[in-house]
């Protein structure tokens, strides 16, 4: 009888030990999957721009918010619309997480991207997409703050100019840390996956 009791205690202890090892292993795996590399702490800088409703906004208006920021221009034939479409699809797929993110499109072509042009353009992609433009000096300041390169390009064969520019989708967390830079070879699925991991990692901090 005593031997039987010892056997039960031993089996229970062994079972608990194994369960503990499995749990510890899973926590470690989760940590590995959720660990998100911060690209830059306290990213960006000051800017004063005008949104698509003709309201002046600054970086302070987006404080403590998750953001997906893209710089481009409305006359861009292919890359900008593709990148904005990726943001839009990702936000829809992300559901309630997507609703916590502010999508922002900032023009690098302030001369052609007037408030009215921006207003019509952002609507094509997402109902909450914010379109920011400003004077050339204001846009230069925003580009500098977010480390964006953009320059007008025109040759004799062109009737109008185009703008050569960096194509980065920035994921920024509420602490203003740059969590990820998505490039043109990243898909909407990549944005969804990394954003979900970033949210999980941020909430477990």
Applying CB under 5 A, which residues contact Ni ion?
72, 76, 79-80
Q: Minimum Å distance from CB 149 to Ni ion?
A: 12
For Ni ion, the closer of residues 98 and 131 by Cβ is 131
For Ni ion, the closer of residues 80 and 179 by Cβ is 80
C-alpha distances in Å from residue 182, one per residue of 8, 27, 38, 84, 191 = 55, 28, 13, 12, 7
Q: Minimum Å distance from CB 154 to Ni ion?
A: 15
Q: Minimum Å distance from CB 110 to Ni ion?
A: 14
Q: Cα(5)–Cα(177) distance, rounded to whole angstroms?
A: 57
For Ni ion, the closer of residues 7 and 184 by Cβ is 184
Cβ contact 26:18 at 8 Å? no
Cβ contact 128:145 at 8 Å? no
Encode 136-173: b = buried (16+ Cβ within 10 Å), e = exposed: eebbbbbbeebbbebeeeeeeeeeeebbebebbbbbbb
Q: Minimum Å distance from CB 61 to Ni ion?
A: 25
For Ni ion, the closer of residues 67 and 165 by Cβ is 165
Which residue is closest to Ni ion by CB?
Answer: 76
Three-class secondary structure of residue 62 per DSSP = helix
Q: Minimum Å distance from CB 80 to Ni ion?
A: 4
Three-class secondary structure of residue 101 per DSSP = strand
Q: Minimum Å distance from CB 82 to Ni ion?
A: 9
For Ni ion, the closer of residues 82 and 204 by Cβ is 82
Report the run of H or E that residue 40 belongs to, with start and end.
Answer: none
For Ni ion, the closer of residues 167 and 176 by Cβ is 167
What are the contacts of 60-64 at 24+ separation with CB within 8 A?
62/102, 62/104, 63/176, 64/174
């Amino acid at each position: 009888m005593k031997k039987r009791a010892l056997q039960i205690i031993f089996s229970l202890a062994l079972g608990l030990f194994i369960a503990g090892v499995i749990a510890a292993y899973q926590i470690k795996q989760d940590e590995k999957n959720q660990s998100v590399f911060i690209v830059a702490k306290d990213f960006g800088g000051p800017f004063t721009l005008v949104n698509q409703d003709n309201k002046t906004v600054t970086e302070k208006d987006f404080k403590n918010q998750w953001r997906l920021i893209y710089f481009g221009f409305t006359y861009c034939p292919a890359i900008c619309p593709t990148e904005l479409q990726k943001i839009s699809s990702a936000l829809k797929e992300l559901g309630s997480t997507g609703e916590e993110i502010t999508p922002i499109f900032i023009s690098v072509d302030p001369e052609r991207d007037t408030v009215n042009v921006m207003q019509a353009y952002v609507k094509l992609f997402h109902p909450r997409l914010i379109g920011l433009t400003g004077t050339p000096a204001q846009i230069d300041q925003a580009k500098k703050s977010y480390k964006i390169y953009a320059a007008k390009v025109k040759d004799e064969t062109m009737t109008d100019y185009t703008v050569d520019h960096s194509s980065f989708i920035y994921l920024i967390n509420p602490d203003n840390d740059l969590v990820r830079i998505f490039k043109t070879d990243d898909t909407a699925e990549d944005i969804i996956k990394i954003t979900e991991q970033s949210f999980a990692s941020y909430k477990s901090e």
